[in-house]
Amino acid sequence: MHGGQRLVIFRGDRYVGQYHLSPPPYVTVTLNGSRVVLRTPGTSRNVEVDLSSAPPKKILVNGEVETLYR
């Protein structure tokens, strides 16, 4: 694999935006209600992205700031 992972967000059938998640290491993505939980192997800290309203403009994953873009 190359280019990393992307977290792509839709609200219904409308595209909202996406975050580019830079490797390594790859993150595991799970859902918990309106929250997306990102977990990096080998770390004890999860990142929770709250999508109950608008997605945050920036998130911190693996020590990198990831920006929501279209």
Q: Where are the domains of the chain?
A: 5-67
| Residue 25 pLDDT level (bands cut at 50, 70, 90) | low
Whether 25 contacts 64, CB under 8 Å: no
Eight-class DSSP state of 5: E
**In this predicted structure, what is the pLDDT of residue 1?**
45
Range in 3-7, 18-22, 23-27, 33-37 the model is least confident about: 23-27
**In this predicted structure, what is the pLDDT of residue 2?**
56
Task: Look up tokens 């998640």; give the residue.
Answer: 21
